[in-house]
Amino acid sequence: MSENEAKQAGAAPGGERIASLNLRFDFASYADTRRFLDQMADLSKREDYYPDVSFGKTYANISIDGDGQTALQQRNSNFINEMKALAAQLGSS
Amino acid sequence: MSENEAKQAGAAPGGERIASLNLRFDFASYADTRRFLDQMADLSKREDYYPDVSFGKTYANISIDGDGQTALQQRNSNFINEMKALAAQLGSS
């Protein structure tokens, strides 16, 4: 999993800018990619948070902008860690 | 559904460039977006063709580059029309 922080930032409560979080997960098969997307959909519904997702046959990119990170933090949501755990369980690299 | 042809082209058999096809479908609810993505996944498996997809809560963008269009054409695949029909059945705009 590669995690880079592109510089499209939103503003944090203190005013400093939060960079967008872009996570890429690579999977061994399309079936694993689909399983991850299905579990991510359930997580999104549970947390009422719907990040922008792009995917192909064996990868998924999740993008969470500064505002999204602020919203998740304010709700004490564990969305990001749960998402990473889902990908890890599916053996993503 | 908006269909624009961004200029990242692949080469057609005759050498002229095929522009990338970018289709955006907007849905009334996340449940509809998910239903579309699930049906798209089945279509992809049936046609063994996996376009790049990006989505959020109530939209999906499908991108088919020049090479993908050439491959679908050579296989006489009805992937693009079937995909449009799936979105229309779900009332996408």
Q: What is the mean pLDDT of each run of 10 residues along chain B (93 residues)?
A: 52 71 96 96 95 96 95 95 96 88
Q: Give A16 to chain B, closest Cα distance, Å.
A: 26
d(CA A69, CA A11): 10
**Amino acid B17: pLDDT:** 78
Please report the domains of chain A, with CATH numbers, ordered by start residue: 2-89 (3.30.1360.20)
Query: B59 Cβ partners below 8 Å, 6+ apart?
Result: B24, B25, B26, B27, B33
ipTM of the complex: 0.76
List Cβ neighbours of A46 (8 Å cut-off, separation of 6 or more).
none
How many beta-carbon pairs below 8 A join chains A and B?
Answer: 32
Tokens 């995909």 belong to which residue?
Answer: B83
In this complex, is the C-beta atom of B5 within 8 Å of any C-beta atom belonging to chain A?
no
